[in-house]
Amino acid sequence: MQTYDLSTGSLRELNATLHAQNETTNQTAWEIMNPRGAHAIACGLDSPIEVTVCGSTGYYSAGMNQQATVNIKGSAGPGVAENMMSGKVIIDGDASQYAGATGHGGLLVVKGNASSRCGISMKGINIVVHGNIGHMSAFMAQSGNMVVCGDAGEALGDSCYEARLFVRGSVKSLGADCEEKEMRPEHLEILQTLLTEGECDAKPEEFKRYGSARTLYNFNIDNAY
Amino acid sequence: MSNDDSGIPRTTPRQSATFSQDVNSEIRRAAATGIYDIRGGGAKRKLPTFDDLLFLGASISRYPLEGYREKCDTNVTIGGLNASNPIHLDIPITIAGMSFGALSGPAKEALGRGASEAGTSTTTGDGGMTHEERGHSSKLVYQYLPSRYGMNPNDLRKADAIEIVVGQGAKPGGGGMLLGQKISDRVADMRNLPKGIDQRSACRHPDWTGPDDLEIKILELREITGWKVPIYVKVAGARPYYDVTLAVKAGADAIVLDGMQGGTAATQDVFIEHVGQPTLAIIRPAVKALQDLGMHRKVQLILSGGIRTGADVAKAMALGADAVAIGSAALIALGDNDPKWEAEYNKLGTTAGAYDDWHEGKDPAGITTQDPELMKRFDPLEGGRRLRNYLKVMTLEAQTIARACGKNHLHNLEPEDLVALTMEAAAMAQVPLAGTDWWPGKTSSF
């Protein structure tokens, strides 16, 4: 286990060190001490390493992650795992706004709650939130799966495209062009896989599925408001 | 016509200036369809422009440089403030961001070829980076847009600079559109969207709002790219003094400032014509913001929106820009709106020079289309050659003016080299009305 202490080292040195790891590195396990809410911790990683952040982080931790597994042992600030391509990001606490924004792949797990705009413009990422999510989540969500074990705030899935949204609890309101969809066997399978990977013991049958009604896919005067 | 049946003279039929033929035709179109007009390009209305400014040239008080013999440099370095690898350009005329999707792959290739041969940069657009433009662009600026279509860290690291797009001159406060006719399999795949839908791009970034967030976003992008490449921030000509101030505060290495003549691939006509400010009006407030911060020439200012000639380049630089960017003019150089396709423009209900329905994907010139048959009409090698020639001519024109003003570098042009032909231009450019030492708003005489 490699340890890096941000109370004595710099963010630049930390990220440069993590970026220098390649597919064949022997230094596969990293522990980051004293993050103290710093921004951009462990962003831009691109190797199969495991990074544990011992505390809470600021903006954009694990941003654009590829291959790596990043575990934040605290809460994460806005934009955690934004534009993630692959790998896994786990937050033991809560996540602030825009968690997993525009993510193309990989798995984001929030063991607490996620704030507003979770999964905004998601493009293939899978997101599992053990708690609740805030308003305008999955806005313009293009593809991927979002699993919410608690409740969803206002305007879920507004203007979404082909992303699948699974919510176990209540949905305060659905956004424009988002509707409840039929839960088919293949969706239950996807859910079970994600719940297992996300270390959540909820049952797929307890969820409802939401997605695009596809009425905004082409410009039409009746869509304008 | 002259007299009625009673022999009384008739008045000449009079068209209304308010309800002109253009206006009436749009009312009829709106009434028939129930949806706003969407088109490409920038503002077509008459606006105060660089044509309303003149250079004074040299005289007894200033002597000129010999036109063809004496040195007049044109190079510019962008992004030296924070980036370890700033961009060095031979000429201060860059190619503005235009998306693959709006443009064909061969058109993007031609832009890369022409820009590279001329020693300047080109820029991606909404939809991500294509191999055509990366492969053929010696210096490629990667746009980081609200939609993040096609955005990925691998391409980010291939870029020579990153341009965070906050706004666009044609539509400050608006997002993009790419209508279904142009969402081919390849475009759909790059943008992760279903084929054939009318695609909309967000008008706001999904993971930051406001200048404090932007500062942290810039930090993240620098960390991911190892502080190597410059980070530009592109803003529309909305509130240039404040927007430039905030972008610099957030840590931008360069500002791209786009006036309302700047083109778009597709947006509502009402947006293009009625939101934003003319390019001439936005440059002085932007330069003042940089000067007030002590950052003029340290953070570079790239001006765009209706730049067409070397005279425009020279005027922009005299007013304080470090470089300019061209989009519409580059497309015309490639062959867009060429009269040789007049018969086909007529079939589309338009005429060469006025064609702006680029979003329909039926471009006779094969540039703003994803139709494989139309794309065959466009040769990227020839297009690249034409763009290179055009950039060369613009540069020679700007040098001609600079030498006449006694300047051995385009950057040495200054506001004192200019006068204005109209009150409006004098007020906007803050240079004297020709024949006077005064401009509207000037508080003291020199």
Q: Name the pLDDT band for A222 (thresholds 50, 70, 90).
A: low
Shortest Cα–Cα distance, A127 to chain B (Å): 16
Give the pLDDT of residue A119: 98
Within 8 A by CB and 6+ apart from B294, the residues are none
Is residue A224 within 8 angstroms of chain B, CB to CB? yes
Using an 8 Å Cβ cutoff, are B133 and B155 in contact? no
Q: Where are the domains of chain A?
A: 2-216
Q: Which of A117, A142, A220 sits opposite B193 (nearest CB)?
A: A142
The 10s digit of each residue's pLDDT in A89-113 is: 999 999 999 999 999 999 999 999 9
Within 8 A by CB and 6+ apart from B365, the residues are B334, B335, B336, B337, B338, B341, B377, B378
- Do β-strands A178-181 and A208-212 pair in parallel, antiparallel, or remain unpaired? antiparallel
The residue written with tokens 């006719």 in the block is: B181
Using an 8 Å Cβ cutoff, are B110 and B133 in contact? no
Give the pLDDT of residue B177: 74
Signed CA dihedral, B114, B116, B119, B123: sign only: positive
Question: Which two structure tokens, joined as six digits, stand for B8?
Answer: 């009384």
The three-state secondary structure class of B255 is strand
Question: What is the number of other CB atoms lying within 10 angstroms of the CB of residue B202?
Answer: 19
Question: Which two structure tokens, joined as six digits, stand for A125?
Answer: 């990422």
Signed CA dihedral, A160, A127, A48, B161: sign only: positive
Q: Helices in B80-197 by DSSP H: which ranges?
A: 105-118, 131-136, 153-158, 185-191
Is residue A215 within 8 angstroms of chain B, CB to CB? no
Shortest Cα–Cα distance, B155 to chain A (Å): 12
Question: Which two structure tokens, joined as six digits, stand for B248?
Answer: 């610099």
Q: Name the pLDDT band for A225 (thresholds 50, 70, 90).
A: very low
Q: Which of A102, A162, A224 sits opposite B206 (nearest CB)?
A: A102
Name the phi and psi angles at B286, rounded to 5: -65, -45
SS3 content of chain A, % helix, strand, coil (to 5): 10, 30, 60
Shortest Cα–Cα distance, A100 to chain B (Å): 9
d(C-alpha B120, C-alpha B11), whole Å: 59
Side-chain-facing half-sphere of B398: CA atoms under 13 Å: 32
d(C-alpha A164, C-alpha A182), whole Å: 11
Contacts of B193 in chain A (CB under 8 A): 142, 161
Shortest Cα–Cα distance, A149 to chain B (Å): 23
Give the pLDDT of residue B299: 98
A-chain residue closest to B214, CA distance: A59
C-alpha pair distances (Å), B325 with each of A3, A83, B308, B315: 47, 29, 10, 13
Strand partners, A181: A209
Contacts of A11 in chain B (CB under 8 A): 223
- Nearest alpha carbon to residue A136 among A162, A107, A165: A165
Question: What is the number of other CB atoms lying within 10 angstroms of the CB of residue B384?
Answer: 23
Cβ contact, residue pair B219, A39, below 8 Å: yes
Shortest Cα–Cα distance, A207 to chain B (Å): 26
Using an 8 Å Cβ cutoff, are A114 and A129 in contact? yes
The 10s digit of each residue's pLDDT in A157-196 is: 999 999 999 999 999 999 999 999 999 999 999 999 999 9
Q: Is B313 exposed, middle or buried (0-12, 13-18, 19+ CB in 10 A)?
A: buried
Cβ contact, residue pair B223, A162, below 8 Å: no
- Do β-strands A164-167 and A208-212 pair in parallel, antiparallel, or remain unpaired? antiparallel
- Nearest alpha carbon to residue A169 among A189, A190, A147: A147
d(C-alpha B61, C-alpha B268), whole Å: 50
Domains, chain B, with CATH or none: 40-429 (3.20.20.70)
Is residue A82 within 8 angstroms of chain B, CB to CB? yes
Average pLDDT, chain A: 96
The residue written with tokens 């607490």 in the block is: A112
The three-state secondary structure class of A168 is coil
Contacts of B33 in chain A (CB under 8 A): 221
Is residue A87 within 8 angstroms of chain B, CB to CB? no
Is residue A78 within 8 angstroms of chain B, CB to CB? yes
Indicate the CATH number of A2-216 among 3.40.50.300, 2.160.20.60, 3.30.1330.60, 3.20.20.140.
2.160.20.60
pTM of the model: 0.96
Using an 8 Å Cβ cutoff, are B29 and B37 in contact? yes
For chain B, residues with pLDDT lower than 50 are 446
Classify residue B12 by its DSSP letter.
Answer: P
Contacts of A85 in chain B (CB under 8 A): 152-153
Cβ contact, residue pair B148, A121, below 8 Å: yes
Contacts of B179 in chain A (CB under 8 A): 219
